[in-house]
Amino acid sequence: MDLGTVAITGAAGTIGSVMRRALRADADRIVVLDRVPLSAEAATETVREMELRDPAAVVTALAGTGADAVLHLGGLADEAPLPDLLAANVLGTHHVLEAARRLGIPRVVLASTNRVTGFHPAAHLTGPDDPARPDGLYAVSKVAVEALGRMYAEKFGLSVVCLRIGSFEECPSEPRHLATWLSPRDAVGFVRAALTAPPSVRFTTAYAVSANTRRFWELPAHTTLAYTPRDNAETYASRVPGAGLPVPPASPQSGAYAQPAATLPHVHP
């Protein structure tokens, strides 16, 4: 699997750190981008500092890299004040998409979240065509991220894949994760599939989740993303306290994230 040259924003983050190492074997070059200083870990890595909130800096960081795709993982990854989320997630994504358009980078993979549909009930198997029901301000910012991706695909011809990422951990640690877990191995598999999806995939949104028996979300069709997840959170159920307790079918898929207490501390008076 030849990935060509892949630029990774947010490469210092939890998922970004995993991806930069996992994709080396398949890529001619990895362009490592983050706002914090990093060092090259391999001869095939190029490291550049970049502030997502500065549109000129994003263009400069990506210019001359020969990137075939951008894996955009940078931004805020949890609930925060809306102005901060708009600056880091929405404007930051806009700057990445606009840089890709200007520089002729054909494929952008955007990190979205399962929480954009967090208020759908636990009993409902949710797919990408179901309406957005964001569970908080962070999820609202990711709804906007997906909308930007669709607009750049339909208006400017970029190929954009939005991955609604599940609970990324080595193993599930709470009852909700038995439905939402995304193992590192499956995360890498979904990203590889997104980076290598055929050019005919102009825009798509897919849930990146392991093959959990209790999952809330549809797996993507192979005609869109050619990856079948291999791990199942049920393997760890005996180690998760409360795993045997029933989940009320009408309760929101986001669990505690859907409660007012998760957002109110971040709302300006």
pLDDT value of position 45: 96
pLDDT value of position 1: 63
Q: Which stretches of the chain score pLDDT less than 50?
A: none
CB 81 within 8 A of CB 269: no
Task: Name every residue whose Cβ is closer than 8 Å to that of residue 117 and which is 6 or more positions away in sequence.
Answer: 126, 130, 131, 132, 133, 134, 164, 217, 253
CB 250 within 8 A of CB 121: yes
What distance in Å separates the CA atoms of residue 110 and residue 146, rounded to the nearest whole number? 8
Rounded (10°) CA dihedral 252, 253, 256, 257: -100
What residues are paired with 181 via a beta bridge? 167
pLDDT digits (tens, 9 = 90+) for 82-122: 999 999 999 999 999 999 999 999 999 999 999 999 999 99
pLDDT value of position 125: 98
Domains belonging to the chain, first-starting first, are: 4-266 (3.40.50.720)
From 138, 152, 207, 257, active-site residue: 138
Q: Which amino acid, one-letter code, is at 22?
A: A
pLDDT value of position 268: 75
Say whether 138 is catalytic: yes
pLDDT value of position 204: 97
pLDDT digits (tens, 9 = 90+) for 153-190: 999 999 999 999 999 999 999 999 999 999 999 999 99
